[in-house]
Structure 1
Amino acid sequence: MSLQTNITAALKEAMKAKDQVALESLRAIKSELLLAQTSGSDTAFTEADEIKLLQKLVKQRKDAAAIFIEQNRTDLAEPELAQAAIIEQFLPAQLSESEVEAVVKSIIAEGNFSGMAAMGQVMGLANAKLAGSADGKTISTIVKKLLTA
């Protein structure tokens, strides 16, 4: 099933359950999908684009929650984290740090990369290979650690 179909089904369930947090999250996803699809570009909206969009929504919520926690506003941070958790349900399973590290090590070995000058090349290959299964910050941290070691 497509993401749009999954979202619509989940929206119906959330409405029946009267789950406001889920409703807000799902409506945000649906809204972003519609905006992206009707943005005027002639290219088709692919599954990779859907994953990027979902990752962006999760990141926005986690960033907002971090700011709220910094300002001692846990009452505002909790709904943001709850929405992020609901949106993450529609993302592919995330790899652990050790799995990401193994993939990055193989990329570095295959390309014979070394030093921080190769960071951009390694990041490009790693992001392409791990698209949707790991977030960019985790990948970046691991690439830096391996290239400086």
Structure 2
Amino acid sequence: MSELKKTIATAVKDAMRAKEKARLGVLRMVQAEFKRIEVDERIELDDARVLVVLDKMLKQRKDSAQQFRDADRIDLAEQEESESAIIQEFLPAALSEDEVSAIIDEAIQNSGAESARDMGKVMALVKPQIQGRGDMGAVSQLVKAKLS
């Protein structure tokens, strides 16, 4: 079992003991998503895949919160943001813009990329290093700008 999954399982137990219903609900939702993927794909999730799942769930919450704010449903937006905060606790610290830029520069150099056509090669090298630690949409835009 991956370390991140163990950490989340421990957090579930702690939330149960503390009777934190909202936190417990979010953590159980995360565990259910892990279980769904493991059953569907017949695999055991490792830390890298757990990060991908958490990152995806965080992005979904942020998108939903923005849509709720646009529709003047502040109550639902705040709920999504509180869920985001709980999920964020289990992701590694975010990278600074300089660190992201350095990773992209190194990937461009290592892949031999010269134009926007080679963006896939660069992203393949960058994504595992940045997953869960930065916004992949922003990273993609930065890579595109550097290759143009």
Report TM bin, short chain. 0.7 to 0.9
**Residue 67 of structure 1: CA displacement?**
0.7
Which residue in the other structure is 1:141 paired with?
A: 141
Distance change in 2, residues 1:40/1:129 (3 Å): closer
Structure 1 residue runs of 4 or more that deviate by more than 3 Å after TM superposition: none
Determine what percentage of the aligned residue pairs are the same residue. 36
Gaps of 5+ in 1: none
Match of 2:24 in 1: 23
- Taking structure 1 as reference, are residues 144 and 37 closer, same or farther at Cα in structure 2, changes over 3 Å only? same
Q: TM-score, normalised by structure 2?
A: 0.87
TM-score by length of 1: 0.87
Output the aligned Cα RMSD. 1.9
1:13, distance to aligned residue in structure 2 (A): 2.2
**Cα deviation code 1:61-80 (max 9, x no counterpart):** 11111110111111110111
The CA distance in 1 between the partners of 2:41 and 2:115, in whole Å, is 41
Question: Which runs of structure 2 are paired with 1:1-149 in the superposition (5 Å)?
Answer: 2-41=3-42, 43-148=43-148
CA contact (8 A) 1:94 1:134 kept: yes
Task: Give the unaligned 5+ runs of structure 2.
Answer: none
Shift in Å, 1:87: 0.7
Does the CA-based 8 Å contact 2:92-2:132 persist in structure 1? yes
- Alpha-carbon offset, residue 143 of structure 1: 0.6
Distance 1:9 1:44 in 2: 18
